Amino acid sequence: MSFVIAATISCYTKDLDRFEGDYKRFCSYVGLTPYIHSSNNTVHMGHITKHGPVELSTAFVQMCMGLLRLTKKTGEWILLVNYQKMKETKGLGK
């Protein structure tokens, strides 16, 4: 299964130069950025947009779920340390 996930991510991210080195553009392409509604001084952030290739966003979610299942091996990685901190403040699955 991990080979399929790696191949999917590789196929969709072959040409990262099209995002001009901006991770925000890449996240927006994948569909993992929140809706933002702003009015005057208030900014409301909603659920993720879910725009972009379904296969790619599914592969990223599956990859993260695999990392969470293997916390004995991956628990010290900075990605999971940050996830645990955000989980405490935002709640599960956000």
Digit-coded pLDDT (tens) for 45-91: 888 887 888 888 888 888 888 888 888 888 788 888 888 888 888 77
Q: What would the DSSP string read from start to end of 12-73?
A: HTS-GGGGTT-HHHHHHHHT-SEEEEEETTEEEEEEE---S-HHHHHHHHHHHHHHHHTHHH
60: left (phi over 0), alpha (psi -120 to 50) or beta: alpha
CA 49 to chain centroid, in Å, comes to: 12
Q: Does pTM top 0.75 for this prediction?
A: no
